[in-house]
Amino acid sequence: MSAAPRMVLGLSMRYLGYHAGAWRHPDANPAGTADFDHFSRLAIEAEDAGIDLLFLADGVAVRVNDTPAGAFAQSSQVADLEPLTLLSGLAAVTSRVGLIATASTTYNEPYHVARTYASLDRISNGRAGWNVVTSWSDAEARNFGREHTLDYETRYERAQEFVDVVRGLWRSWEPGALVHDKSAGRFLDPARLHALNHVGPHFTVRGPLSVPPSPQGRPVIVQAGASPAGIELAARHADVIYTVPQDLDAAIAYRAALDAKLREVGRDPASVRVLPGIVPFTADTDALARAHYDELNALVPTELGLSYLRAQLGDLSGCELDGPVPEPTDPAVRSIARNLIDMARRDGLTLRQLSQVVAAGFGARVLVGSGRAIADDLQRWMESGAIDGFNLCLPLLPDSLTRFATHVLPELRARGLFRPITEPVTLRERLGLPALAYGQR
């Protein structure tokens, strides 16, 4: 009998955890959201537990103008650290775990992104990844000389060209370009270092890139779009795709659509890893896990939960809290908005109840149960063939990581699903992705 597919596990290091009430928990250190020691201890614990990669989401704004004053004062998601800088520090205190940082294609330039991520890839010995986002909020636009964000189509058109340029820059250095021949006085072979000479609708970039490639060739590319334009971008470029399906049927349907698009653009579906987000609340028993879930939910005021929901569904004024969830008026993040609406319809959730779910996991699937119960769920999803692992959006950090390592990981190991890689390898190797030839970077 062949071994079960190896489950990839990533950890999303969001503030003090994904739950909006995490910072108020008695075990939380509110200052940890911008404290390097908090993240370094978390990274080391994750690596020791066998977690494959660390992920840092990012937005380039404090969304004060989008949030009612009362809710804004209650939110911990206003103080954080720039992801690439933080991961550069974490590269020095870890040796195996992957390091994925988010950078926007709307508020950056391709050469800057290509250079900084290639540098992190070399510093970490081939453990870096770039999470590609297009940035949808007006709050971000106002930090870059615009009143409103770019329209949906323009954002994704720019993103396609942006990633094309970055990948082109990452191909600047052919194998053997660095000669290092002291006797001949020849540091490099100029014929193997190539300018890009890109001219397009959004960017003009000459190149070449100043950073030679790492052992994995280029950073791993990550993307999270589920809209048609997002799937197109992911199919053309992504090695890893983050998703947020609320049920297995949706995950299976997404994988089928993605695989079809991958084949359409000439890529092998086996060359991509799909990692849905989950928010696991676990303990010794189902009852204790439920108590932990309820404890954190009690720390979130209704207005704060509604403010997070407004960010996805638009204006909710005039809606009854205990009435049905309305259709979004302006779904800036289309796929997340649609997922929330579908979940509310399926589970019969009121607006108040949906706001509590969003506060608990920001759209990722919430699981509440013992280690065995959660392992049962994860095994069922893995055996479907629709996914390759999970992005752990843990509710309370570091407590939830310790809980997951104590209650869930032993169950997954016993079933042959989670098999930690203990030796230093590149992130591509850790993900089981094929090596890249020079022209595939």
Residues of each annotated binding site for FMN: 58, 102, 156, 227
Longest dimension (CA), the chain: 79
- Could you tell me which residues are annotated as the binding site? 58, 102, 156, 227
CB-based contact 45:401 (threshold 8 Å): yes
Cα separation of 120 and 85, whole Å? 9
Which residues make Cβ contacts (< 8 Å) with residue 195, sequence separation at least 6? 172, 206, 207, 208
Cα separation of 6 and 3, whole Å? 8
Cα separation of 439 and 441, whole Å? 6
Dump the DSSP string for 145-193. T-SSPPPHHHHHHHHHHHHHHHHHHHTSB-TT-EEEETTTTEEE-GGGB
Residue 206 in tokens: 């000459």
Cα separation of 119 and 213, whole Å? 9
Which residues make Cβ contacts (< 8 Å) with residue 290, sequence separation at least 6? 281, 368
Angle, to 10 degrees, between the axis of helix 399-407 and the axis of helix 36-49? 10
Work out whether strand 178-181 and strand 186-188 pair parallel, antiparallel, or are unpaired.
Answer: antiparallel
Report residue 286: phi and psi, to 5°. -60, -40
Please work out, in degrees rounded to the nearest 5, the angle formed at the alpha carbon of residue 303 by the alpha carbons of 297 and 308: 80
For residue 299, how many C-alpha atoms fall within 13 Å in the half-sphere facing its CB? 20
Within 10 Å of residue 318's Cβ, how many Cβ atoms? 6
